């Protein structure tokens, strides 16, 4: 399950993956719960939306790790590993730089550095720190369908009205063939961009465990979540996945009003499982092959003089 937090590492044998999943989840949850309790962040819907916006901007990290960075340094504008600073921008961490911690699949933690804690060549004005990848075509959607097929998720187009976008459900048992476990239905009359938004939302439901547990895909059983919270969680996943691809869904207005204002303030967040939202967003990106995260290997020492 830890791999899904980060992004597209090679799949492990299922037996080993299953044995490590509960330990990894426990460690991640423990770290997140501790940070949230101490920081007292995200207790209001306004704070939650700000965190989502930050997660969108920091595309070189998996959603879960972007959230960890936001907790540690809310004003951060960009961070990267020592290797990425060196290879992409010819910059190096300062001698007394304070590193930030993220989780990664090859060890407990990894170190990254805020741009303010690095030195070297000036950053070019044209540097695309947060590149947008907003184009969506039928061909890309077809490629997504092929990737999902390999995970037992079959894409099915249907002829529907504009108000009906799509849904995901268990594959009918009487028609089920080997490895086909889920049926993802998408309105064929919608544009590729709208179809992608629907895709992110419905895969969000699946990865959040709203359809039940799936050991092979490392999905928990969260069928008991209320309908309102299901939609909030799935819209949050869609918001993250879509915006990180430069596509703007209509999630903003929905998330802005999912709690009613109380005396001019936003009601406190109740029952939100931040861990599951970030885990699912990273998992959806992995399923669709959208991951391109910062690299971690030993960087060269900074030149002297």
Within a domain: 132: no
Is residue 161 located within the same domain as residue 70? no
**Which residue in this structure is represented by tokens 């989780």?**
103
Is residue 25 located within the same domain as residue 113? yes
Within a domain: 63: yes
Q: Centre a 10 Å sphere on the Cβ of residue 9 and count the other Cβ atoms it contains.
A: 15
Within a domain: 266: yes
Q: How far apart are CA 186 and CA 159, in angstroms?
A: 9
Q: How far apart are CA 221 and CA 147, in angstroms?
A: 23
Is residue 280 located within the same domain as residue 156? yes
Within a domain: 128: no
Within a domain: 174: yes
Is residue 277 located within the same domain as residue 142? yes
Is residue 165 located within the same domain as residue 220? yes
Domain of 101 in residue numbering reads as 2-120
- For 259-284, the DSSP string reads S--BTTBPPBP-S--HHHHHHHHHHH
Assess whether pLDDT exceeds 60 at residue 83: yes
Is residue 166 located within the same domain as residue 211? yes
Q: How far apart are CA 280 and CA 217, in angstroms?
A: 11
The pLDDT value recorded for residue 17 is 42
Is residue 283 located within the same domain as residue 151? yes
pLDDT band at 77 (very low <50, low <70, confident <90, very high): confident
What percentage of the chain has pLDDT greater than the value 90? Answer: 33
What are 134-172's pLDDT values in tens digits?
678 999 999 999 999 999 999 989 888 877 888 998 876
Within a domain: 130: no
User: Count of domains in the chain?
Assistant: 2
């Amino acid at each position: 399950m830890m791999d899904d937090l980060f992004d597209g590492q090679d799949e492990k044998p299922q037996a080993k993956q299953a044995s490590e999943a509960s330990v990894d989840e426990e460690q991640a949850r423990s770290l997140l719960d501790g940070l949230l309790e101490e920081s007292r962040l995200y207790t209001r819907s306004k704070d939650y939306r700000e965190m989502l916006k930050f997660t969108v901007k920091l595309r070189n990290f998996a959603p879960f790790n972007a959230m960890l960075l936001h907790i540690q340094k809310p004003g951060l504008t960009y961070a990267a590993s020592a290797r990425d600073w060196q290879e992409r921008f010819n910059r190096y961490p300062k001698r007394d730089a304070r590193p930030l911690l993220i989780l990664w699949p090859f060890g407990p933690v990894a170190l990254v550095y805020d741009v303010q804690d690095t030195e070297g060549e000036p950053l070019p004005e044209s540097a695309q720190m947060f590149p947008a990848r907003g184009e969506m075509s039928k061909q890309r959607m077809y490629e997504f369908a092929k990737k999902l097929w390999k995970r037992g998720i079959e894409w099915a187009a249907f002829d529907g009205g504009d108000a009906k976008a799509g849904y995901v459900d268990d594959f009918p048992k009487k028609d089920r063939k080997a490895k086909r476990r889920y049926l993802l239905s998408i309105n064929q009359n919608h544009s590729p961009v709208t179809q992608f938004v629907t895709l992110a939302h419905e895969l969000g439901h699946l990865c959040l465990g709203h359809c039940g547990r799936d050991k092979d895909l490392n999905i928990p059983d969260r069928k008991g979540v209320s309908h309102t919270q299901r939609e909030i969680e799935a819209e949050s996943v869609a918001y993250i996945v879509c915006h990180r691809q430069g596509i703007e869904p209509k999630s903003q207005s929905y998330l802005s009003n999912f709690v009613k204002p109380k005396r001019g303030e936003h009601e406190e967040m109740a029952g939100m499982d931040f861990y599951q939202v970030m885990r699912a967003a990273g998992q959806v990106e992995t399923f669709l092959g959208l991951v391109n995260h910062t690299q971690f290997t030993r960087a060269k020492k900074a030149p002297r003089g």
